[in-house]
A and B are shown apart, each in its own frame.
Chain A
Amino acid sequence: MQFQKETSQTIAKRDPALVMRLSRLGSFHQSRLSFMRILTRRMTRENWQFSRPVFEFDAKGVGHAVYCVHTPERIYSLIAFGHDLPPEDRSDRVIAEAWDSTFTLFDGVPDAADIARLRRNIPLQEAGRVSEKELSVSRANRSVRLWAHVVSRLAAGTQPDRSEVDKVGYLMRTTAVYGSGKLGAADREMIADRAECNAPFQIEMLSVFLTRTYVRDLVQHMANLKGGATAATLDADIARSLGIGNSTGLGMAPFLINHPMLFNNWVAAREQAIAIVRNLPAANEAEAQKFCGLLERSIVSADIWYSAHPIQIEKLKQLRHDLCALAHHVAQADLLNAHPWDRLFTWAEVTLAEDAQECLASLMLEPYGALVDHLADQMSDQNAEAFRIDGSMRVAELRSIMENAYGWALDTDWSQPQKCARAWYVSAEKLEPRLGERFEEPIAPYEQPLAPGRDAAALYDALKAADKDAPLAAFLLTHPQHRHSVRRAQIVARAPYAEIRDNTIGSDLMPIDMLRCKLSFFGATHFDPRSDRWVRICMFGNAPYPEELASVQGDDWSYPPAQRGGA
């Protein structure tokens, strides 16, 4: 690339040993490469059309709706079922058995027989069964307080209280969005070669995007039924500020460990984008202004980011402080010359905490869509052969790989109880992943392979006793218990961001770090931990609604407006 010729300075991607620590992964922010933004960019670029052929609900919100999206080559439909859920049955837990609304994303346009079949199955979620015509299955619960507030205000002919809206940020939160073959739905492989499905989780994001429109329409419908002719229409600015909540527990954490190559591709794409921008020798006025404007809006975003969790409250305090320090520094810094972004980032690395560093890293990409957006094409995992173990590799070579990639784990004393205090297991209840205390509960026999560091250290010890010139095939014949660790080590040799380089079973583990990392790649904002292993977020807050996609300028909706309308 041109900029690399213009300078002798070439800044590489950041060291995986720095990036792949849990506290940093747990500080990631959404970026241009987040899956929601990849989707909305495509929707705008390809001028996707939307329609709502069915919308039938009674005053209690019981009924169903169909939302169709017309892409250049095909149609997808969200089928939404509304239910009347007694308050005592409302739970975000995976073990819940009833929800306010249930959904499926259908491949094509459903006919009456499809709707009848899905009406028997979708409301049951895990207890139901779907077919390869369905691409996802999901459910959502109302935010009871905000829902009631918005319905009663609109019914009375007035607008909701803006501060109440900001405090929650959504009218409904999804509690699971299942894709990729779950419950009998189509496997990802069935749709992976479609352009609009190429980037990760596009089907799931589309489902949530359409769910947000359904929720807006349903709350208006119920207010209209309640208020009659005097009901007000929800203010467009308030509507746009509302996203879809998501309530996520531990089920999401193992995903990052169970899909090492995919995870590598997400992180590597973002790191590549950061390196591209840091290598720019200069910026122009428009680029600097774009950055400054979005920094200002990031400060607004942090200001309206509400959390009651003690750890998040402290993190937020630091983030707000750091973003102000960043703004102060930026106001005096030369953003135009002499590798401005690298200078800024290097300053941040020694001045700001991880949360603001990662916010800055994402912000720096914003003016450079033309340079970084194409990296979205590299975020899927298409390398099926990486799964195969190369048994011809010699023991000595694997040891060398492990010394490089698992140094932290080889230096850890795994015999100390606090280093392996936890164990991941799967409960018999709806196969819910859980985290337990290894030395206090009888769970070790059920432990899932989610401690790559500890397992790598055990493998390394076994390799020390093996002939260094022996092929791994012979080693594995007598050491089958290390097979998964050999595979991981060979993957990380090719894919340096494949592995979390931190302890995932220590007594001080914060699983919400893993959740936030994954959700930031989705494009989530406003992480609100409910405990150390349970987090609520907002998706598509401030995003355009379908009818607004064509008129929205730029691709920066994930930052709230600097000047907020309403009051």
Chain B
Amino acid sequence: MSHSLNEIAAHAKRAARGTGLSWGMAEEAARATRWLASQDLAGPALLSDVLAKNDGLPHAQVAPVSLNGEWRAPEGDLCPLAVGTTLSDCADQLEPGRPVKMANVSYPLLVLPFAAWAAIHLKQPVRVTYQNVQIDTDGDGIWIDDPHREINTSKAKALTCQIATKRTDGAKLPGLRGTVTPEIWARLDAFAQRTFAPATDASRLLGAGAGVSDND
């Protein structure tokens, strides 16, 4: 179904929060999902996958142990949202010839939006590489080289993020709508529902401050 990008972001934010992400993380998960959806990439689907995989896990378990050297989780896989936010925070560390390398990243395409924001900040294109996938972005547009359709892989053993050379060929530019299947929407909704307080008669009346007749 065709959705507005704001709808996708709002839904993604609630879903992310519903699985225990902090509000700040959920805000960025939502922006990342929206960004991918605007590029007609599988942001909402991959978000629902990574939320299901890491549902309720503490950040420390899926985030890099250290920012020195290759980024690794204490054990298991890195969460793309945890490394993505960190990559965006550390954008200034990306210098020509100094890539950021990560090991065992789940749903690696979700790192791309954060690389895009780093590119906007650095005013230089950034390249994300995993398996046979290579994607450049200047923040707005993308150039995808994915001969083996591994872009939506559930796990990359190695992911590299680095400054790329400026491209003169045309980038794929974002659109203004996103498509989400009802099934993916429902998967996200199941997480989002956890953030809503069940309504009671008291909350209906007091919580919204009603009580005076509207019918006048």
Contact = CB atoms under 8 A, between A and B. Distances in A.
Contacts of B204: 95, 427, 429
A534 B89 contact: no
B6 to A, nearest CB: 3
A252 B144 CA distance: 41
Contact of B7 (A182, A249, A388, A441): A182
Count class of interface residues, chain B = 35 or more
Interface in B171-202: 176-177, 193, 195-199, 202
A478 interface: yes
Most chain-B Cβ atoms within 10 A of its Cβ — which of A87, A144, A476, A487? Answer: A476
B3 A483 contact: no
B34 to A, nearest CB: 10
A439 interface: no
A227 interface: no
A391 B84 CA distance: 12
Interface in A459-498: 471-474, 476-478, 480-487
B22 A531 contact: no
B83 to A, nearest CB: 10
Interface stretch (A185-193, A277-285, A289-297, A539-547): A185-193
B197 A531 contact: no
A390 B2 CA distance: 34
B168 interface: no
Nearest to A433: B208
Given A385-B121, A434-B203, A427 B196 contact: yes
Interface in B14-73: 21-25, 27-28, 31, 59-60, 63-64, 67
Interface string A531-567: 1111000000000000000000000000000000000
A46 B177 CA distance: 31
Most chain-B Cβ atoms within 10 A of its Cβ — which of A132, A145, A427? Answer: A427
Given A434-B207, A485-B24, A534-B210, A428 B199 contact: yes
B86 to A, nearest CB: 6
Contacts of A186: 4, 176
A476 B85 contact: yes
Given A187-B5, A483-B85, A485-B24, A477 B209 contact: no
A427 B85 contact: no
Most chain-B Cβ atoms within 10 A of its Cβ — which of A88, A181, A247, A442? Answer: A181
A186 B176 CA distance: 8
Contacts of A274: none
A431 B196 contact: yes
Contacts of B176: 132, 186-187, 189-190
Count class of interface residues, chain A = 35 or more
B67 A484 contact: no
A392 B199 contact: no
A167 to B, nearest CB: 11
A511 interface: yes
B130 interface: no
B216 interface: yes
A132 B6 CA distance: 12
Interface in A219-273: 247, 249-250
A429 B208 CA distance: 11
Contacts of A428: 193, 196-199
B64 A477 contact: yes
B169 interface: no
B158 interface: no
A347 interface: no
Contact of B120 (A92, A385, A425, A443): A385
Given A93-B214, A531-B211, A131 B2 contact: yes
A238 B75 CA distance: 74
Given A93-B214, A484-B24, A391 B90 contact: yes
B88 interface: yes
Given A391-B88, A480-B24, A483-B85, A511 B215 contact: no
B20 to A, nearest CB: 10
Contacts, number: 174
A132 B2 contact: yes
A446 interface: yes
A484 B86 contact: no
Nearest to A185: B4
B208 A480 contact: no
Given A388-B117, A426-B195, A476 B89 contact: yes
Contacts of A143: 216
Nearest to B121: A388
A75 interface: no
Nearest to A472: B89
A156 to B, nearest CB: 22
A70 interface: no
A429 B7 CA distance: 17
B92 interface: yes
Most chain-A Cβ atoms within 10 A of its Cβ — which of B67, B117, B202, B209? Answer: B209
A480 B195 contact: no
A93 B208 contact: yes
A110 interface: no
A184 interface: yes
A107 B7 CA distance: 19
Contacts of B3: 184
Contact of A92 (B92, B193, B195, B214): B214
A30 interface: no
Contacts of B67: 473-474, 477
A426 B11 CA distance: 13
A389 B215 CA distance: 48
B24 A530 contact: no
Contacts of B216: 143-145
Given A132-B176, A184-B7, A441-B203, A144 B215 contact: yes
Contacts of A185: 4
A3 interface: no
Contacts of A181: 4-7
A184 B1 CA distance: 10
Contact of A534 (B2, B208, B215): B208
24 contacts: A131-B2, A132-B2, A181-B4, A181-B5, A184-B3, A184-B4, A185-B4, A249-B208, A388-B91, A391-B88, A426-B197, A427-B204, A428-B196, A429-B199, A434-B197, A434-B207, A446-B197, A473-B89, A478-B60, A480-B59, A483-B23, A511-B209, A531-B212, A533-B208
Interface of A: 87-88, 90-95, 131-132, 141, 143-145, 180-190, 247, 249-250, 385, 387-392, 425-429, 431-432, 434-436, 441-443, 446, 449, 471-474, 476-478, 480-487, 511, 530-534
The list of the 5 closest CB pairs from A to B, nearest first, reads A483-B24, A391-B89, A533-B209, A181-B6, A181-B4
